[in-house]
Structure 1
Amino acid sequence: MSPVVSLKSHDAIGIVTIDSPPVNALSAAVRGGILECVHQAIADPSIQAIVLTCAGRTFIAGADITEFGKPPKKPTLDEVLTAIESSPKPVIAAIHGTALGGGLEVTLACHFRVADKSSKLGLPEVKLGLLPGAGGTQRLPRAVGPELAVKMIIGGDPIGANEALQNGLIEEVVEEALSGGEAFARKLLADRRPLRRLRDDDTKLAAARSDRSIFTGAVAAITKKVRGLEAPFVAADAIGYALDLPFEQGLKKERELFLQLMSSDQSKALRYAFFAEREAAKIAGVETGTKPRSVEGVAIIGAGTMGGGIAMSFANAGIPVTLVETGKDQLDRGFGIIRKNYEATAARGGIPADAPAKRMTLITGAVGLENIGQADLIVEAVFETMTIKKEVFGQLDKIAKSGAILATNTSFLDINEIAKETKRPQDVVGMHFFSPANVMKLCEIVRTKSSAPDTLVTAVSLARKIGKVPVIVGVCDGFVGNRMLMARQRQASQLLFDGALPQQVDAALTKFGMPMGPFAMGDLAGLDIGWRSRQDRGIKSEIEDALCEAGRFGQKTGKGFFRYENGSRAPLPDPEVEKLIDQTLKRLGRKRRTISDEEILERTTYAMINEGARILEEGIAARASDIDVVWLYGYGWPVYRGGPMYYADHVGLKTIAARLSDYAREASDPSLEPAPLLKQLADQNAKFT
């Protein structure tokens, strides 16, 4: 018998238990154990029904990710499912925790399913650029109907036990999975209930077969927001085969499409991103097993846009937070914005109707830093000015209790300098949230030269607890994300001096897959912010300065690089901007030339990649994959391209180094000369990732 799957007989019920921590993934050993135990239970005349259950905190949570990309081992999952479905004795899946991917496909091959009330059931393969490859696209529509199957397979999000019950995916919601499954099995036997094999039951397909719009409408609704991804549409084709073909032929077609996606560039990139996110949680130089500090109280200093968003992030996770301001008016204004944001989300159906009131009770307002004395974590989110931040940290050092973590939300500033204002630099760390902080998933955890290991572990742990994706980075101007963004912005601005227009630059990057181009992004942030910063530093940017001098500050004034009509956020090309650019170039004695979309894409993305290489050289990021995670979760880099460093490997480092050298020469721009690490890897035919 398998060491990870066991069979025990309880009167007439055979209990097949999978015990393969941590998540009972469908490894070859688990598959083999299930097959062996099911065959034994079928052959045992004393067993009349079989209950399939799992030990530990969850049912089968999916495939064994360590087997991804490797030759398949026997037995295949299809062999296991065929044995379960063909059993002459009823097989009942007793579900707790999560039944995802291959785990749900196992339950679909069972004749009946019960689940405890906390269970989640789903087929999230589309998020890895795949589709369910073991009958999920053929059995799920037969279990719940094509409409919900489309939502679950193409959307990729799981449903809860109650929704599963309402739609026929499970037969009962039980208090405890194993005892509930066993009780259900005994009831089946007593009632002599016939087996339900989904492969033979087309009842729930009938309506969509007679009215195809039921299916096509569901597909259109779920795919209307899909940008650039292949898998959702291929998955839709697979579900369609459940309507058009007999079960066995549908299975064959599903398998063909699964293998097609498995070998696609998109799926490879999505699977890379999946592993990169998990790798980012590992902190270089910190011993495994380092425990986080206890954090029961959190304080946020500053109730502005960032501070309010950070406070919401903690409240969303059920963590009480004290929001501190210097005056009551500022505090009331911040609370008003938070309440408005919650109510707007509830009105859209993003959170339950009673959630705004509940979450607001978790946020306590206070005036004055003296109110942070008992907090275990303090996040400073005041103005992005070194003088102000140093002053705040000097005060925190006197007020905060011993062992409290002092975090700054700075986007660019030197946190080593900020930490010098305290007598406890080991407790200081950066927690750089991205705006809007209650929505964006990235949190750059910035380690200073003095940050203690348990300070870093605590920051990472808390970031994950509030639903963020933490990435450890080092101290430099802009850290990882903004430093690379500045390299891209420099090239985007330079392209205007060379002859491109804002709409052409933005269109090239949105076509590549970015959610927004650099100039629309500047309009959103406000061009006056950069203008005032440049004035303070005595720096000029002729075209942007001319826009600001003309009162074009971006969306807030209805015009910037683009114009915005009637409060709309849609950027529209403006002939006045083209005229202004022409006048500026004429004044500077420059002539416009024709710029190709290829040049725009290469100069902007390759400059980022080059800066990424420098970041790796300097040790600001521990891994190229960490850089990719920053850009995937903080800046909207298209996930199906894996991240800028992965994309560089895909294009080829020799190609990128050569093109950068060409552009550096043509544009007389030494910043585009390939970084030493990029040159080295290109010469060695090596890769970043």
Structure 2
Amino acid sequence: MKTPINEIVSLEKVDDIGLISLKNPPVNAASHALRTGLLEAVTQADDDPDIHVIALYGEGRSFIAGADIREFGQQPREPLLPGICTRIEAAKTPVISILHGAALGGGLETALGTHGRVAIEGVKIGFPEVTLGIIPGAGGTQRAPRLCGIPAALDLITTGRRISPAEALKLRLVDRVTTGAPRHVALSAAREVLAGTFQTRRVRDMDVIPDPDAIVRAKEDVVRRAPNLFSPLKCVEAVEASTRPIDEGIPFERALFRECIDSPQRAGLIHAFFAERAVAKIPEADAIPRHIETIGIVGSGTMGSGIATAALLSGFSVVLTERDEEALRRGRETISRNLDGAVKRGKLSEDKRALVGDALDATVSLAGLAEVDLVIEAAFEDMAVKKEIFEQLDRICKPGALLATNTSYLDINEIAAATGRPEDVFGLHFFSPAHVMRLLEVVVADQTAPDAVATGFALARGFRKVAVRAGVCDGFI
């Protein structure tokens, strides 16, 4: 029988297993109500002599997708997540966590406080705090190095990158990977704990191998990658402290976390976070994006080569076209320099550099775009030139291929009228340099289809850019 602890957290007893479920839609953010209910549920289950193992799982889309960042900048309210993670870790009853959907930031820190972790295929795992101008503040910088070592922890925490269950298993952040519904997996894993086939342990009891060279390299790397940002260096300082006893390391981490919370950079980055979410709320949000694998680029000048670079770095195949061989050669050289620059900045590994370069094809004929899924025209800003190009693209490109223009001010309705498929025509206005600048205007013409608009926004996400919907007007936005 499931007993509500509060409106978000429930405790269910199944034989000698205590199941704690979290239901705080849409993503189970670690709000004050969730924290309060979780602490009470763990305490009740740990004090119940009839419960021999506790399993924690999320209902809905995810486990715990992170802290409730709406609370940042407000007066902290107990119970705070660091204390909850410590209470879970100290439980005399084994506690396991089932990760699905997303286990990010405070969600991953909560999982690291449990005695065993099971990842369900498809879950996204990581510490994204640095992208919001803060550091993990609930023990993540202290427990992660105990599991995966200092170099791997530094990589995850200073970059904010999300990893797959397979990589998390390799790094020992999770103990096993499986499939199934979270409650079913929770019961199954709990029974394995009872049977002795799933060994649990407290992360706090594990040793950290000091690695001063990794600390030095990480400091040099973050200064090179983000010389003006405050939190990346604080991440390194916190991980460096993981060699201390954990009861010293966690307060030190919390002090660094508070420094970040009080910084204007944190306020600015979180403002940007909410702004980016706001601009994603578009009328076409429910449309299904078209599948894009290969992108054609018309024009290899500054914009065309930059767009091609962005596409290559994002894993797309690219067909680049130009009017003559000399212009094409210059375009390829520019793209090569851009990719080399990405390697130097740490955005692309040496190993992947050759593979990314091999995904580029180049031709002086628009006929080479016959099978691409999307064309982005980046030719000279002249209406007659663009209309001529789109007339040719309309004849050459396969049905369903999208035709986008990078124009910064010309009337896209007039360009679309030059084709027999105006529903497939829209604007993708990049800003220079296109492979660096994050803003992308998706310009919707009068007859642009909803799924074309949705594809533009999906493409922006693939390019790690922020898309803003614009209408056809002088200068767009």
TM class by shorter chain equals 0.7 to 0.9
Could you tell me which runs of 5 or more consecutive residues in structure 2 were left unpaired when the two chains were aligned: none
CA displacement at 1:141 relative to structure 2: 3.0
Q: Distance in 2 between matches of 1:330 and 1:343?
A: 20
Instruction: Give the aligned partner of residue 128 of structure 1.
Output: 132
CA displacement at 1:76 relative to structure 2: 2.6
Q: Distance in 1 between matches of 2:104 and 2:364?
A: 44
Q: Distance in 2 between matches of 1:297 and 1:400?
A: 15
Bigger relative contact order, structure 1 or 2 (CA pairs below 8 A, ≥6 apart): 2
Q: Distance in 2 between matches of 1:295 and 1:264?
A: 41
Instruction: Give the aligned partner of residue 387 of structure 2.
Output: 390
Does residue 157 of structure 1 match 2:161?
A: yes
Q: Which amino acid aligns with 1:302?
A: V
Instruction: Give the aligned partner of residue 80 of structure 1.
Output: 84
CA change 1:65–1:356 in 2 (3 A) is same
Instruction: Give the aligned partner of residue 625 of structure 1.
Output: none
CA displacement at 1:396 relative to structure 2: 4.9
Among candidates 272, 285, 302, match of residue 298 of structure 2: 302
Q: Distance in 2 between matches of 1:39 and 1:218?
A: 39
Instruction: Give the aligned partner of residue 197 of structure 1.
Output: 202
Instruction: Give the aligned partner of residue 432 of structure 1.
Output: 429
CA change 1:239–1:340 in 2 (3 A) is closer
SS in 2 for 1:203: coil
CA displacement at 1:132 relative to structure 2: 1.4
Does residue 278 of structure 1 match 2:283?
A: no
Could you tell me which runs of 5 or more consecutive residues in structure 1 were left unpaired when the two chains were aligned: 480-619, 622-689
Q: Distance in 1 between matches of 2:392 and 2:42?
A: 67
1:209-236, CA deviations, whole angstroms, 9 ceiling, x for partnerless residues? xxx5554454444444331111122333
Q: Does structure 2 conserve the Cα–Cα contact (< 8 Å) formed by 1:292 and 1:457?
A: yes
Residue correspondences, number: 468
CA displacement at 1:5 relative to structure 2: 3.3
Instruction: Give the aligned partner of residue 69 of structure 1.
Output: 73
Matches within 5 A, 1:177-196: 178=182, 182-191=187-196, 196=201
SS in 2 for 1:51: strand
Matches within 5 A, 1:593-632: 620-621=476-477
Q: Distance in 2 between matches of 1:236 and 1:293?
A: 39
Q: Distance in 2 between matches of 1:231 and 1:298?
A: 37
CA displacement at 1:131 relative to structure 2: 1.4
Q: Report the structure number with the largest CA radius of gyration.
A: 1
Q: Which amino acid aligns with 1:18?
A: L
CA displacement at 1:89 relative to structure 2: 0.6
SS in 2 for 1:446: strand
Does residue 106 of structure 1 match 2:110?
A: yes
Instruction: Give the aligned partner of residue 472 of structure 1.
Output: 469
Q: Which amino acid aligns with 1:236?
A: V
Q: Distance in 2 between matches of 1:448 and 1:250?
A: 56
Q: Distance in 1 between matches of 2:330 and 2:217?
A: 44
Q: Does structure 2 conserve the Cα–Cα contact (< 8 Å) formed by 1:115 and 1:177?
A: no
Matches within 5 A, 1:570-589: none
Q: Distance in 2 between matches of 1:154 and 1:340?
A: 26
Q: Does structure 1 conserve the Cα–Cα contact (< 8 Å) formed by 2:313 and 2:356?
A: no
CA change 1:463–1:213 in 2 (3 A) is closer
1:276-308, CA deviations, whole angstroms, 9 ceiling, x for partnerless residues? 22222234xxx4656356456876352525556
CA displacement at 1:354 relative to structure 2: 8.2
Does residue 238 of structure 1 match 2:238?
A: yes
Q: Which amino acid aligns with 1:189?
A: L
Among candidates 268, 291, 294, match of residue 287 of structure 2: 291
Q: Does structure 2 conserve the Cα–Cα contact (< 8 Å) formed by 1:430 and 1:445?
A: yes
SS in 1 for 2:225: coil
Q: Does structure 2 conserve the Cα–Cα contact (< 8 Å) formed by 1:296 and 1:376?
A: yes
CA displacement at 1:108 relative to structure 2: 1.5
Q: Distance in 1 between matches of 2:426 and 2:116?
A: 52
Matches within 5 A, 1:472-511: 472-473=469-470, 479=475
SS in 1 for 2:440: strand
Matches within 5 A, 1:166-177: 166-176=170-180
CA displacement at 1:408 relative to structure 2: 0.9
Q: Distance in 2 between matches of 1:341 and 1:387?
A: 31
CA displacement at 1:62 relative to structure 2: 0.8
CA change 1:350–1:26 in 2 (3 A) is farther
* Farther off after superposition, 50-59 or 90-99: 50-59
Q: Which amino acid aligns with 1:15?
A: L
Instruction: Give the aligned partner of residue 456 of structure 2.
Output: 459
CA displacement at 1:157 relative to structure 2: 2.6
Q: Distance in 2 between matches of 1:30 and 1:109?
A: 16
Q: Does structure 2 conserve the Cα–Cα contact (< 8 Å) formed by 1:382 and 1:389?
A: yes
Q: Distance in 2 between matches of 1:325 and 1:155?
A: 37
Q: Which amino acid aligns with 1:198?
A: V
More helix, by proportion? 1
TM-score of the aligned structures, taking structure 1 as reference length: 0.57
